């Protein structure tokens, strides 16, 4: 990656300004050589009508952390990163607190990347398992 963890997290925070990530209060909080972690508060803003975390909010969190990881780990300043397929299995509900999404690379191709993203609560309980495929599209010069 080449950047320090603090530089990576600052770059992620900058990317979130005026986006869905800011609306959902997603914050990138940990980075390593082959993973990226973001957290999101669980409150009424992201609940479904019966008061538990909405599955769509979890998918938005997962795609946000996986796409950011693709951008960072591919050194993709010359590419647009787009999610092209996502699959989520929600295994436990949560009503309050925070959820943490950790994106880890499964396949790092030049064009497509496959990410395994586990979403856990503050006690490390597994909430959702997500697979994300991203694509790197060259920017027009």
The overall longest dimension of the chain from CA atoms, in Å, is 49
What pLDDT is recorded for position 31? 93
Reading the block at residue 85, the tokens are 């397929």
Tell me, yes or no, if 5 is annotated catalytic: no
Q: Which fold has domain 5-138?
A: Thiol Ester Dehydrase; Chain A (3.10.129)
Burial of 14 (0-12, 13-18, 19+ CB in 10 A): exposed
Closest alpha carbon to 22 in 8, 5, 6, 41: 41
Reading the block at residue 31, the tokens are 């980075």
Q: Which of 22, 63, 122, 123 is catalytic?
A: 63
What pLDDT is recorded for position 16? 83
Q: Which residue ranges make up each domain of the chain?
A: 5-138
Return d(Cα 14, Cα 37) in angstroms, integer. 16
Q: What angle do CA 130, 135, 139 make, to 5 degrees?
A: 145
**Consecutive 10-residue runs of the chain (141 residues): their mean pLDDT?**
80 88 95 93 96 97 94 80 96 98 94 96 98 92 70
Closest alpha carbon to 81 in 35, 136, 36, 132: 136
Q: Where are the beta strands (DSSP E) in the chain?
A: 27-31, 35-42, 79-90, 97-108, 112-121, 126-138
What pLDDT is recorded for position 29? 95
């Amino acid at each position: 990656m080449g950047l320090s963890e603090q530089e990576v997290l600052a770059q992620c925070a900058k990317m979130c300004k005026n986006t869905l990530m800011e609306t959902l209060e997603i914050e990138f909080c940990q980075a390593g050589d082959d993973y990226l972690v973001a957290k999101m508060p669980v409150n009424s803003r992201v609940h479904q009508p019966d008061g538990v975390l909405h599955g769509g909010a979890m998918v938005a969190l997962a795609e946000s952390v996986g796409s950011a990881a693709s951008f960072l780990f591919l050194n993709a300043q010359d590419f647009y990163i787009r999610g092209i397929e996502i699959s989520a299995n929600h295994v436990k509900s949560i009503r309050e607190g925070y959820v943490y999404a950790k994106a880890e690379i499964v396949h790092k191709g030049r064009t497509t990347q496959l990410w395994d993203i586990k979403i856990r609560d503050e006690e490390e309980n597994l909430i959702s398992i997500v697979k994300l495929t991203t694509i790197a599209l060259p920017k027009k010069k």
